Amino acid sequence: MYQSVVVTGGTRGIGLAIVKRFAKEGYDIITCGRDTETGRKLVQDFKKWFPERNLHFYASDLSTPSGCMDFVNFVHALAHPILALVNNTGYFKPGSILEEPEGHLEGMINTNLYSAYHLSRGIVPQMIQSGKGHVFNICSIASIMAYANGGSYSISKFAMLGMSKVLREETKKTGVKVTAVLPGAVLTDSWAGVDLPEERFIQPHDVADAIWSCYSLGPGAVVEELLIRPQLGDI
């Protein structure tokens, strides 16, 4: 029987590292992204990396409720048992509350928070019905620490952590686990052009390995919050 995990935004960065980590452990992958061509290339590469596993890609814009529901319907149509949901979709743009352009906050909330909200509502009930599953919400160090030029990104990530806490309470007695993942600076496209050495950052595969470790715990234990920082501290 297929054992699948859903990873949103799985074509690059942290999402891609998580895709690879779970595939390495024998899971099939269901993922999504906005760009069809990038998704097609991922499917081709995945066949080379993990010839015995399957990756199902769906092109969808999760910043909209309709895009989220289209992806949820795609997941359900596959009829695979979903053992983990990784709400990873998100983006970062610097800014300050008083100077950001109009729509900046709405864009961040739609992508960084509402996508996880809609995906959880669409997929977690299946986990509850089966009595097991694990939700990982990719938050940020910005979920617990305000910083200059964080603006709407910090607001959206504070809210994401709050949603994770609420979902944890709601699923506590169902067998479904919820983990909020709070990484510091990870070497992804968000830091492109920054004049800092690679060793100053967390590597995406380290985040994926930490998530796998949390997933690997027995049914009686859950890591509620996973805080990961660069060895030399925050940037």
The answer to whether 142 and 154 are in contact (CB under 8 A) is: yes
SS3 track for 142-163 = HHCCCCCCCHHHHHHHHHHHHH
At 1 the pLDDT is: 61
pLDDT greater than 80 at residue 212: yes
Q: What is the pLDDT of residues 57-95, one digit of tens each?
A: 999 999 999 999 999 999 999 999 999 999 999 999 889
Q: What is the DSSP letter of 172?
A: T
Residues 6+ apart with CB under 8 A from 156: 90, 105, 108, 109, 111, 112, 113
Cβ burial 112-145 (10 Å sphere, 16+ → b, else e): bbbbbbbbbebbbebbeeeeebbbbbbbbbbbee
How many CB atoms lie under 10 A from the CB of residue 36?
12
Residues 6+ apart with CB under 8 A from 188: 12, 13, 14, 204
At 190 the pLDDT is: 74
Across the chain, mean pLDDT equals: 95
Residues 6+ apart with CB under 8 A from 81: 1, 2, 3, 4, 130
Q: What is the pLDDT of residues 117-136, one digit of tens each?
A: 999 999 999 999 999 999 99
* pLDDT band, very low/low/confident/very high, at 206 (cuts 50, 70, 90): very high
Segments making up each domain of the chain, as ranges: 4-228
CATH class of 4-228: alpha beta
Q: What is the DSSP letter of 202?
A: B
What is the rounded distance in angstroms from the CA atom of residue 133 to the CA atom of residue 27?
13
